[in-house]
Amino acid sequence: MSKLGPVSVGGKNPVRIMGIVNTSPESFYKKSVYTEQGEIAKIVKQMEEDGADLIDVGGMSTAPYLKTLVPEKTETDRVTQAINTILKVSKLPVSVDTCRASVAKAAFELGVDILNDVTGLQHDASMAQILEEYSPSVVVCAFSKRPVSGNHVIQTRNLLRQSILTAKKYGISKDKIVVDPAIGFFRKKKQGIFSTKINSDWLERDITVIQNLKSLKLGHSLLISVSRKSFIGQILNQKDPDKRLAGSLAAETIAVLNGADVIRTHNVKATLDAIQIAQKLESFKKGL
């Protein structure tokens, strides 16, 4: 069992839902972008009403197939405006989705106590000092600056182990670390700095990882983010992320049945409904 801020995750706890509040117009799913305070307040209140346990705020897209890098000040301004708005309208714990120490520090100063870093704490060396100072909960992704190859599950496990060790080195206790296998971030043709280059098929990698989530936990709770992502579009031959809801729900449901403890999603109500039904049917089957 782990803690994301005040929220217990994993173990006998229910699957937790992390709603995505995306403030970066560069993002791949345009309908998930909220830049005005009124829009942010409205979507957060709706997510809370729909059953979200946490809110994840990002100010810069990290999609590995887009050019999305923005100045740190731009990311900081987007994130802090969103956090200030959220704290006024909701009591849900907030996570900051960033790999930059200065952005994380600005969020922590506002009271945020969860960091979601898609680079597994490898992008910004200054993050060490920030984590030691604020000691937040941390979601660490599988990530490598160098190309990787070999068995997808072993490869992902090894990278997660490195990120866990880094978090512990920075003073984060084991119960504050949650792992994320980084669905969508392993690419044969790497673009940008937020993806890991592999020599094999990226679709096969994502599918294999989702099938083997329990073996990737390494003694920690596991968060997964598959909502509207490109592997769903690839399977369904659907380029428009807006038309990937059914595929997202199917993937999220399978992820939960395979061991995911936290689902990070654009679709809070639909996701919660889908996984509740799946878990109920699964528990009924086991009781026969």
Residue 128: other Cβ atoms inside 10 A? 15
Lowest-confidence segment of 36-50, 156-170, 180-194, 198-212 by average pLDDT: 180-194
- The rounded mean pLDDT for the chain is 93
pLDDT at 248: 97
pLDDT at 1: 84
pLDDT at 132: 97
CB 108 within 8 Å of CB 86 = no
pLDDT at 205: 96
Lowest-confidence segment of 25-29, 153-157, 256-260, 263-267 by average pLDDT: 25-29
* Amino acid in the structure at residue 41: A
Beta strands in 105-185 (DSSP E): 114-117, 137-141, 177-180
How many Å apart are CA 126 and CA 136, to the nearest integer? 15
Mean pLDDT (whole number) for 68-87: 94
Domain count within the chain: 1
List the one residue out of 24, 30, 108 whose CA is nearest residue 74.
24
Residue scoring higher pLDDT (66 or 101)? 101
Strands 2-4 and 7-9: antiparallel
CB 263 within 8 Å of CB 18 = yes
* Amino acid in the structure at residue 231: F
Lowest-confidence segment of 101-110, 189-198, 233-242, 247-256 by average pLDDT: 189-198
pLDDT at 32: 76
Residue 269: other Cβ atoms inside 10 A? 16
Residue scoring higher pLDDT (280 or 83)? 83
- The DSSP 8-state label assigned to residue 224 in this structure reads E
Task: Report the predicted TM-score, pTM, of the whole model to 2 decimal places.
Answer: 0.94
Mean pLDDT (whole number) for 118-135: 96
Burial of 249 (0-12, 13-18, 19+ CB in 10 A): buried
CA distances (Å), 21 to each of 26, 124, 132, 181, in order?
14, 23, 26, 21
- 15-66 pLDDT tens trace: 999 999 999 887 777 777 889 999 999 999 999 999 999 999 999 977 665 5
Domain that holds residue 58: 2-287
CATH classification at residue 67 = 3.20.20.20
